[in-house]
Amino acid sequence: MGCTRREFLALASAGTVAGLAGCVPSRQTPQTPSDDTSSPDPSVDLSEFESLALDASAWRYDEDNDVYYQLGLTYCLSPATDTYESLAVFVPGAYFSAEKNGDTYTCTVNDKAVVGAFTAATAPVLMPINTGSLAAQSSPTSYAFDGLGPYMDAGCVYVYAGFRGRSAGYDTASGSDELFPGGSPWPVVDLKAAVRYLRYNASRLPCDASRVFVFGFGGGGGASAVLGASGDSELFEPYLTSIGAITHDAEGATVSDAIAGSASWCPVTSFDTADAAYEWCQGQYATDGTRAEGSWTRLLSQDLAAAYGAWVNEMDLRDADDAQLTLDETETGVYAQGSYADALLDCVNEAATTFVQGTAFPYAYTPQRLEDPTFPGDPNLAATREADVASSTPASEAPADGTGEAPATGDATAQEDASKTLAGVAQVQSTIYDSAQSYFAALNADSWWINYNHRSMSVTVSSLRDFVTRMRPAAQPASPFDLPDRSSRVNQLFGIGEESTLHFDAIAAGLIDANLDTYAACADWPAEEEVAWQEDLEKVDALETDMATRVSLMNPLFWLSGHYDGYGQASVAPHWRINEGLFDTDAPLCTAANIVFALRKYDGVASVSHTPVWGQGHVLAERSGSATSNLISWVTSCCSA
């Protein structure tokens, strides 16, 4: 039987959960790690993970900056690769009392220390996911203080964990010639193992190990959301067991991998619907390239957009007033209007209004796109990324040229060619606008679609279609995450071993099967596509996990929405921060919003901060201030609450 989340919770509160076996699995009350009251299992080997105990006599010390650190801490018993499955820990010096022994220090926790808003007993742990495309993140092999200052000054413990990325690979640093597995769900598996390692060693670290906050950008932001949604999910256990991840502490109590908070910028995730979402948000309005009239991929784009509309209507996503968000189907099968589209448009209007109220004119607009973040912790990061870029990258995988930039027309007073790359941020053109009136006049140069009320300083957009076609056009090809030639980075994420890229999108596969004759009638139809999707979807990984499950394991909504079987089957993080650039052409407009819609109705979630940012694209989008300072302030406020 089918039921909505609202119906499920109503039945659960009436004590009728037992009758819902055919709807969704029995719901567990979301718990934070500190709520874990599981009793020790007398049958476990209490010494099983002794080799992973942190050595209190192996700390090194940066005297100039008052930081203790350890590098190369392997966080599981059977790592597939030491280069990636290890971590580094950085601790504010005041939290330790230390005794020098040669080149290292023996440290004990200083219970009286206070740094920023925290003590050694209350300090949170911050873990970056330092990749925008889910490339593998190697564990630091050397130390540098650069960038760590704000975290240390705030009293945070900073943990930089390595993890395997979107593809299988070779550990060249250790001289191994054996291929280690990568792709879904290994990046999340490794990070979960790292969280468990920290909990196992909590007594040796000056922190509150229940306060683990993970943050990332792009694909890393998507992984952060998965970590936040999937705490202690049993689906990851076979993978965690295979690498010898910690399961219990020295007293036999279960060790959790649930986290306290997830922060992300422009998250790329929810790959079961990512292609359909992109085509609904942006692709269905494009008429060139792979969406040109007469091409089979144009037909696929339109069908994916319609499939997304049907998916929304099945999801039971709800607004702040608990009204279900839906889309209305037109006579032509297009889902373009409805309360769901209105809710997205409300986000756009609010962001545009906040922008104009907080912007000092003249205003210089510079479209930007970030490939990878540069969170601190690994001084060798630049060299690692150069090596990653040097490896073969299909042309279709390269970043799209489109940046959703505002028109450089109208009353703009100056233009400056700023084609350059600074710290991984591509900047293509700057345009200066004298006033808010000149800015909005430029946006309306071709036709009137955005309204600015000077007296109230408020902004409204006529329709979602008008917004995306002008400010967030489809810059990626049709079906951008699961490309027909399997050349995207997400195709890599779902590859298996030597088969480095595979199809994974069941919606696209179903559409090809249902519309084969229509697609095949197009002149550009590749005959091999008739079976390519279905054949790939039938493949299993080394642990015999099927493709549908691997896709679910990289989808935070799998645990957050009653539409999915994972709902209620994990400990969901109580604190969330999701920022997105509204001019981001890399991801669907609705990815972040869907997570937020689900979180705001999920029991046990204490706070959800969602900030869409007008005028910014695929970057660490913030309305003001820096990403680092705002992140730390958010973590501090969550801990204070």
d(CA 392, CA 372): 17
Q: For residues 196 and 257, is the Cβ–Cβ distance under 8 A?
A: yes
What would the mean pLDDT of 480-496 be, rounded to a whole number? 97
Answer yes or no: pTM beyond 0.85.
Answer: yes
| Torsion sign (Cα): 621, 626, 631, 633 | negative
Strands (DSSP E) found in 227-287: 261-265
pLDDT in tens, 552-600: 999 999 999 999 999 999 999 999 999 999 999 999 999 999 999 999 9
d(CA 198, CA 207): 10
d(CA 555, CA 225): 8
pLDDT in tens, 65-121: 999 999 999 999 999 999 999 999 999 999 999 999 999 999 999 999 999 999 999
At 316, is the pLDDT very low, low, confident or very high (cuts 50, 70, 90)?
Answer: confident
What would the mean pLDDT of 321-337 be, rounded to a whole number? 86
Output the DSSP codes for 541-584.
-TT--BHHHHHHTT-THHHH-TTSTTTTSSB--SEEEEEEETT-
Does residue 456 register a pLDDT over 60? yes
Of 572, 475, 510, 499, nearest in space to 273 by CA: 510
Of 485, 488, 533, 557, nearest in space to 269 by CA: 557
pLDDT in tens, 13-26: 333 223 322 333 33
What would the mean pLDDT of 219-238 be, rounded to a whole number? 98
In the block, tokens 């992973």 appear at 52
- Token pair recorded at residue 214: 């993970």
Q: What is the pLDDT of residue 428?
A: 64
Q: What are phi and psi of 5, to 5 degrees?
A: -60, -45
Does residue 136 register a pLDDT over 70? yes
